[in-house]
Copies of this chain bind each other. A is one copy, B any other.
């Protein structure tokens, strides 16, 4: 792994241990009463400026013959994942996955009992994990995310997503997706949009469950990625995950990932932190109608409240410039009737 790239990725992951966000105090929220208003495309959004802005944009670009009509082929919307489509507290869920994997793999690695940061992970000592610094976190990510094929890793992720539960909510992580955002995804798709994830998280960590959870197929997931090596094993072509970073899909890396994979400028972007700033800027400085939205985490009771001072999902520049850039700020506490989908 090359150090300059590694630093960026590790910032993404390490910061998770230092969050100052308030913990959620409330039990899982009540289900959104989506059956009450069948014609409402956004039933979990309170009526107000935010909801109206979303609907007004979609109607503008999809009105045939209108001045701001955008052909279906160009209706591309991009969504950050952590903090925008699902929660990201108290640590990025992908970091929790890495910690869980260390525990699950420990039986095959007796040497970890005496080796940091694995020792600290196995002893539940998060301070010790973080004290191992970048080299430690790098060793942990390498041990849990590389050295297997993409397909094998996908099976591991799926098994984890099916069983692991968040320590505070006791929900599966994939049940901590935001119901109002699921409705935005569905509403956009119903109006001809192609919806993409563009996340700092690992692309191979998201693809195994994104289709089931978000309705977003693997080919519409852009994320950070490691290098891959093609090999033939038992006569079958496979892709081996290597411990070298290929793209850090965060900050200025997001427009790069978009250009590489999508190949044209989306017309709508949804984020929640300054890691999404360049993506929002790239999308909303193109010609024609544009839409940018920031999910502002303001609800300490039902989710978490954090922005300027947080080490995870830090939002400073986005708050300062949203108004002048005409980006919509979605206030979680005010705008959302429900946070998560109904308990399963």
Contacts and interface: CB of A to CB of B under 8 A. Distances in A.
Interface stretch (A42-50, A99-107, A228-236): A228-236
Given A73-B217, A255-B239, A285-B237, A263 B203 contact: yes
Contact of A285 (B235, B239, B253, B281): B235
Contact of A263 (B73, B221, B252): B221
Interface residues on A, range: 35 or more
A203 B73 CA distance: 19
Contacts of A219: 76, 194, 219, 261-264
Contacts of A194: 219
B252 A230 contact: yes
Contacts of A243: none
B252 A282 contact: no
A183 interface: no
A228 B73 contact: no
Nearest to A251: B230
A292 to B, nearest CB: 12
Contacts of A59: none
Contacts of A73: 211, 217
A150 interface: yes
A218 B255 contact: no
A225 interface: yes
A326 to B, nearest CB: 13
A256 interface: yes
B237 A278 contact: yes
A259 interface: yes
Given A203-B260, A225-B260, A228-B260, 14 more contacts: A217-B263, A218-B263, A218-B264, A219-B262, A219-B263, A221-B263, A229-B256, A230-B252, A230-B278, A235-B285, A236-B286, A237-B285, A237-B286, A261-B261
A252 to B, nearest CB: 4
Nearest to A234: B285
Given A150-B259, A211-B73, A255-B237, A232 B281 contact: yes
A43 to B, nearest CB: 27
Interface in A274-288: 278, 281-283, 285-286
22 contacts: A203-B263, A207-B264, A218-B262, A218-B263, A219-B219, A219-B262, A219-B263, A228-B259, A230-B253, A230-B256, A235-B285, A236-B285, A236-B286, A237-B255, A237-B278, A237-B281, A237-B283, A237-B285, A237-B286, A239-B255, A239-B259, A246-B260
A299 to B, nearest CB: 31
A285 B232 CA distance: 9
Contacts of A221: 263
